[in-house]
Amino acid sequence: MNRSGTLALLIAASTLASPAAAETLRMAYATAPISVDPYPYSDSQTAGLGEHIFETLVALDNKPLLATQWQWESPTAAVVKLRDGVKFSNGMPFGARDVVFSMCRMMHPVNGKPNVLTSSLGPVRNVVAVDDHTVRFETTAPYPILFQKLKFLKILSAQANGVTADIAYDGQGDCGIAASYPAQADFDSGKAAIGTGPYLLQQFQATGDATLVPNAGYWGAKAEWDQVEIRSVANNGARIAGLLAGDYDVIEKPGAEDIAVIERDDQFATSSTPGLQTIFIVLDISADGAPGVTAANGAAPLADPRVRWALSMAIDRDAIVGRLFQGNATAANQFAPSYMDGAPEMPPLPYDADAAKKLLAEAGFADGFSMELSVPNDRYLNGTVVAQALAQYWTRLGVRVSLKTEPWSVFLTRRGDGELGAFMYGWGHPQGAAQLISGAFAQKDADLGLGSANMSNYADPDFEAAIRAWAVETDDAKADALIATAMARAVEDMPGIPLYYNHEVWGHRADLAVTGNADGRTMAGMVHRK
C-alpha cells in the first residue's frame, strides 16, 4: 500500500471515528421554556430554546447573521442585504419573502394578543422585498433603533407555511396571508419549527423539556453536539445537585454562593461573562410626594436631588458586589453596563456615609424620613438580600426603611397601579444605555417609543432634548454622543439609583469550555469540548 493510500485510510478512519464520539449535551435551565413559538414570549429561556432553531437578521453583538449588511438609505428607509446560500431545515432556500412573512406574523396578534415586538415595530410602515436577497424597511418617522429591535425577530419560512406569492405588508400583520400562519401548537409539535438555525427540534414537551438534533444543512459552523437535551430545574440546590451528580453537563444561573461549591470539585468548573442586566432602584420624584414616602415636615423628600444623591452615596456598592455576590457582579456607575459598546465614560459613584448625612441635612431632612422599598422576592438573583443591605445603609443614614418583598406578579401589579414610591428593578437590553434611559426616564411618547416604563416621573428639559434627538438620529456616532449627554444628566439628577450589573454564570463539566453571551441565554453553540 502506498503512502497516499494510507493517508486516505487514516482520513477515512478519522471521519468514521467522529460518529463514534457521538455525544449528547444535557443542559438545565432555571425556568421552563413555555413554547417553541418564537413570537409571543420574551423570557430568556423560551427565547434561548427558540434561538437554537430560528435565527435573526442581526446578532446580539451587532454582527451579521441572516443579514450581511444594513444601512439607512434615508432617515425613514433602511435597506438590508440578506445572506446567500442559506437554507431552512426543510431544504427550502431563505430569501426576502421570509423576512416579510416573519414581520407579518410578528405583527399579527394571535387571538388579539400582542407579540414581543408588536409595540416596538409599530413605526414600521412597510416592508418590501426589493429582490430575492434585499429587503427595504420603511418607517413612519426616523426610527434608528430598528436594527436593535430586529435582533428579536426570528425568521420563519414563508414557503413552508404555504406562502409562495409576494406579500403586501400592512402594519396589522394580516398581509392577506393570515390564514397561513402556524398556530402555537404547530410550533410545539415540531410541524412549524422550521428555521435556519444550527439545530432542529426533535421533541418538545408541554412541561418545557426539549430535545434538539443538528440541522445537517446549516449554513454556518456545524453543530458540535449530536443531540441536545434541555431540561428545567427551578430550585437552585437541585440544579447544582444535578450538575454534581452528572445528570446535566451545563447548568445556568448558579447562586453566588454555589459557584465556589462547583469550583471546589476538579470535575466541574464555572464560566461567567458580564451581563446585560442593570439592577437599580427607581424613585418616584414627583414634587407632590411619592407613595409610601413621608417626612415629618410634610415635604416630598425624593423630589430633592440632594436626597437622592445622599441615598446613593450611603451605599457601599463594592461591599455589595464583593460580599453578597462574591465578585460576580460589577458596581454600577450609570443606568446601563459601563462595559458595553457605546456606553459613555463616567466616574464611579462615590460611597461616603458622612457626606451623605450632611447632604440629607442640607436638604432639610436631618431627622430623616420614612420610605417603603418594594422588592420582588422571586425575580432577581440575591434581590431580597441586596434590599436588606440597602435597608442597613439607609437606616444608618437616618432613613426609616420599611421593606416590602412580594411575588413578582403582585409587585408588577402594584407598580402598574402607581403604588410604589421606591422599588428595585432590573433591565437588560443588548442596546444598553439608550434602551434603558429612554424607556425608564423619558417622557411618554408612543410615536418615538419613549418612556414606556417611566415610573419615576422624571422630566428634565435637557435630558428630554437629548433623548428626543437621539430617538431620530440614524448616525451611530452622533446617537452615542446624545446618549452620553442624556446619561450624564440622568446620573446627575438621579431619578433612580444604579446599583450593579449582574454577571451571567454557568456551571459545567470541567472538560467543557463555555463561552456565554451577555444576554445569559444558555445555548448549545456556546459549549465546546476542550
Partner 1 sequence: MASFIIRRIGQSAVLLFIMSLLVFVGMYMVSDPVAVLAGDDFTAADREALARSLGLDRPLPLQYLAFLGNVLTGDFGQSYVYNRPVLDLIFERLPATLEMVCLAMVLGVAIGIPLGIWSGLNRRHPATRAVSFATTVGYSIPNFWQALLLILVFSVWLRWLPASGRGDTVPLLGAGWSFLTIDGLRHMLLPAANLAVAIVCMQTRLTRSGTEEVMFQDYMMFARSKGIPRWRLVNRHLLRNILIPIVTITGLELGALIAFSTVTETVFSWPGIGKLLLDSIYRSDRPVVVAYMILITVMFVAINLVVDILYALLDPRIRYS
Partner 2 sequence: MTEPQVPRFAGWRAIFRGHALPTAGLVGMGLFLALALLAPAIAPQNPYDQMQLNIMDGLLPPMTQTMDGRIAYLGTDSLGRDILSAVLYGLRISLLVAVVAVAAGITAGVLLGLVSALRGGWIDALVMRAVDLTVSFPGVLLAIMLLAIFGTGVDKVIVALAIGIWAQTARVVRAVALTEMQRDYIAAARLGGISEWRIMLHFLLPNSITPVLVLLPMAISGAIVAEATLSFLGVGVPITQPSLGLLIANGNEYLLSGKWWISMIPGLVLVAMVLCVNVVADRMRDHANPFLRAKD
Contact by Cβ (8 Å): 383, 431: no
| Partner from partner 2, partner 1, none binding residue 323, C-beta < 5-8 Å depending on class | partner 2
**Options 19-27, 97-105, 221-229, 380-388: segment touching partner 2 (CB under 8 A):** 380-388
Place of cell 434561548: 48
- For 165, the grid coordinates are 406569492
Among candidates 496, 494, 491, 471, which has minimal Cα distance to 482?
Answer: 471
CA–CA separation, 420 and 407 (whole Å): 14
Partner whose binding site includes residue 377, from partner 2, partner 1, none (CB under 5 to 8 Å by kind): partner 2
Per CB under 8 A, 247 contacts partner 2: no
Q: Check if the beta carbon of residue 190 is closer than 8 Å to that of residue 202.
A: yes
Beta carbons within 8 Å of 245's beta carbon, 6+ residues apart:
none
Residues forming the site for partner 1 (CB under 8 A): 28, 32, 34-35, 40, 42, 109-114, 116, 118-120, 122, 184-185, 205-209, 231-235, 237-242, 244-247, 378, 407-410, 412-413, 415-417, 427, 439, 444, 446, 449, 452-453
Q: Which does 512 bind (CB under 5 to 8 A by kind): partner 1, partner 2, none?
A: none
Angle formed at CA 193 by CA 170 and CA 24, multiple of 5 degrees: 150
Q: Is 454 within 8 Å of 443 (Cβ atoms)? A: yes
User: Among partner 2, partner 1, none, what binds residue 176 when CB lies within 5 to 8 Å by partner kind?
Assistant: none
Ranges of H-type helices in 209-335: 236-244, 258-264, 305-313, 317-319
- Contact partner, 233, from partner 2, partner 1, none, Cβ < 5-8 Å per class: partner 1
Site string for partner 2, 324-343 (x = CB under 8 A): x-------------------
Site for partner 2 in 413-442 (CB under 8 A): 413
Q: Which does 120 bind (CB under 5 to 8 A by kind): partner 2, partner 1, none?
A: partner 1
- Please choose, from the candidates 26, 52, 47, the residue with its C-alpha nearest in 3D space to the C-alpha of residue 512: 26
Query: Which run of H or of E encompasses 397?
Result: helix 383-397
135: closest CA among 164, 159, 101, 110? 101
Q: Listing from the earlier edge strand, what are the strands of the sheet with 77-82?
A: 67-74, 77-82, 134-139, 124-131
Decide: is 385 part of the binding site for partner 2 (CB under 8 A): yes
Q: Which residues contact 216 (CB under 8 A, 6 or more apart)?
A: none
Q: How far apart are CA 160 and CA 83, in angstroms?
A: 19
Q: Which of 53, 293, 389, 450 binds partner 2 (CB under 8 A)?
A: 389
Q: Cell 431545515 maps to which residue?
A: 89
405 binds, among partner 1, partner 2, none (CB under 5 to 8 A by kind): partner 2
**Could you say which of partner 2, partner 1, none residue 439 binds, taking C-beta under 5 to 8 angstroms by partner kind?**
partner 1
- The answer to whether 255 contacts partner 2 (rule: CB under 8 A) is yes
Nearer to partner 1, 134 or 443 (CB): 443
Q: Where are the alpha helices (DSSP H) in 68-164?
A: 96-107, 146-150
One residue of 31, 180, 184, 377 binding partner 2 per CB under 8 A:
377
Q: What is the 3-state secondary structure (H, E, C) of 468-512?
A: HHHHCCCCHHHHHHHHHHHHHHHHHHCCEEEEEEEEEEEEEECCE
Instruction: Candidates 189-197, 329-337, 386-394, 449-457: pick the segment binding partner 2 (CB under 8 A).
Output: 386-394
Interface with partner 2 (CB under 8 A), residue from 77, 110, 261, 526: 261
Least gap, CB of 228 to partner 1 (angstroms)? 16
Distance (Å, whole) CA 81 – CA 96: 9
468 binds, among partner 2, partner 1, none (CB under 5 to 8 A by kind): none
Q: How many helices and strands, by DSSP H and E, does the chain display? A: 15, 18
**Sign of CA pseudo-dihedral 7, 12, 13, 14:** positive
| Span from 20-28, 141-149, 395-403, 498-506 in contact with partner 2 (CB under 8 A) | 395-403
Residue 369 in contact with residue 293, Cβ under 8 Å?
yes
Pick between residue 116 and residue 518 the one whose CB is nearest to partner 1. 116
Query: With CB cut-offs between 5 and 8 Å by kind, which of partner 1, partner 2, none does residue 388 bind?
Result: partner 2
Answer whether 40's CB lies under 8 Å from 110's CB: yes
CB of 505 to partner 2, least distance (A): 14
**Does residue 205 belong to the site contacting partner 2 (CB under 8 A)?**
no
Site track for partner 2 across 220-239, x = CB under 8 A: ----------------xx--
Q: Which is nearer to partner 1, 207 or 392 (CB)?
A: 207
Residue ranges in contact with partner 2 by CB under 8 A: 236-237, 240-241, 255, 257-258, 260-261, 319-320, 323-324, 377-378, 384-385, 387-389, 391-392, 395-396, 401-407, 410, 413
